[in-house]
Amino acid sequence: MTTATAEWKVRIQKEDFNVNDEIELMKKVSRNIGGVTTFLGTGRAISKGETISKLNFEHYPEMAEKKLEELRQKAIKDFGVIDMSIIHRIGEIDIGENIVLIVAASEHRGETFKACEWAIAELKRTVPIWKRETTGSGEVWVSPTP
């Protein structure tokens, strides 16, 4: 049983999120949930051999949220997960801080792993959120694929 889209399921926000709180919210969606898989992306200190001092994320408002909801709906349909939530932060992010969280829930673990892996790949490929890294060499806009 998939519940109607709630505000907490797809969010773009400046403030940090609590991974445990998001998992607990997802577990309340259905009593048939037997597996929950998460993908947590965090700010790393080195990229392409350069030390990063700061990360900044910008997005295309409304379009980014719309694309995240489309990804969520497609994951539910194509992978058979009971539900999924996707949160992405914007603005300045410090090294080690949370950036993106995907939580997938299903009766069994297999669907959740596949759904999470697909969702983060599609998010990076299709959602209008852009990352700028500040290094000793200056600022660099990062392409959607590593």
Give a three-class secondary structure readout of 33-87: CCEEEEEEEECCCEECCEEEEEEEEEECCCHHHHHHHHHHHHHHHHHCCCEEEEE
* CATH at residue 65: 3.90.1170.40
**In DSSP terms, which residues pair with 10 in a beta bridge?**
86
Residue 43 lies in a domain: yes
Residue 61 lies in a domain: yes
Question: For 43, what's the count of Cα atoms within 13 Å in the CB-facing half-sphere?
Answer: 25
Contact between 76 and 2 (Cβ < 8 Å): yes
**What are the mean pLDDT values of the chain's consecutive 10-residue runs (146 residues total)?**
62 97 96 97 92 95 95 97 98 97 96 97 96 90 67
Residue 124 lies in a domain: yes
Nearest C-alpha neighbor of 10 from the set 123, 124, 125, 94: 123
Structural domain count of the chain? 1
pLDDT for the residue 47: 87
CB atoms within 10 A of CB 60: 13
Residue 120 lies in a domain: yes
pLDDT for the residue 4: 43
Instruction: State the residue range of the domain holding 90.
Output: 30-142
Residue 11 lies in a domain: no
Question: CA 76, CA 142: separation in Å to the nearest integer?
Answer: 29
pLDDT for the residue 3: 39
